[in-house]
Structure 1
């Protein structure tokens, strides 16, 4: 049971981290190319989910998805006589979408900081060599942003691993994560059984600390080598 729950958490966290970093990179790069007020407002609105409780985001995700599912079901029933049921509500896709709304700001902050350290002259040099915006992002910016992208992915990964309210509300039936399992066992006063998944969450939470510590140590300069 523990390994099944751990696998669910790892898969969800990895998918959300990968998608979140990709979206954050596209948004940050789009803002760099076209720094208009409307683009800036769009990015800031997209990143505002981190200030909203997970339970509120979960309800905000379920309501429109439920209406969409009901509309599709009603249309299919009246047109073809087929009931589709719930297509998106209570699915892994809905859960990942809720995570993205909640934690996009985490990845966006790291990606924007990393992209901001790249001088605009590199963009001009790439364009002078015949590279378009997509080629510049892939061949120039992405390699220079490896550290920032990795940091963003790890931060989102850890946040998803320990997220409880949104997971409880949006998750599919009989689909548990480490956070949900700890909550269930602790609610039943089965504290000894809750120790293993709780410890796993703590160990995963140490990843950003170890990463930042390693980055700080790698930037230290030995005075004897100067």
Structure 2
């Protein structure tokens, strides 16, 4: 391995670029319209444009990231965190395209990246966990039922995300409807999937 494309931006991209440089690797950054002049694009040996400012048009576009990897002749792809880092389909697409995937196997990501599936795996393994829903929540009525059983505060979380995106802490019934819809919108915008779950 002689080169790595970092499929992310900001602080994590900078950290990966610096670590890769210490290993003597050629570094390749990707950027959206908004990040054209960001520090990670300046620190990397090369930088490739992958789409518009919304993450759904750039950092979440698997085909755009893979195209940049092919054009740059990258050997490996490092996802950073957030965005596609917890997307098993992306990890598999990277491997299928002939690149080295710098991360856990797609099967592990599929289980642990899906927060609902990871809760089920933890429960099956006897790992204590806070009260939460066992399936994605599709209606605010399910959240109300959960609150009636477990009380406030609750956290409505993106099932396929992380990093606080799509996370809403709710302390009153008055805030529940708006928080539920907002969490679903954010989950869809950041992770291209509106599924959410609830924890106490």
Going by fraction, where is helix more abundant, 1 or 2?
1
TM-score, normalisation: structure 2: 0.23
The structure, 1 or 2, with the larger RCO (C-alpha pairs under 8 Å, 6+ apart) is: 1
TM-score, normalisation: structure 1: 0.21
* Larger-Rg structure: 1
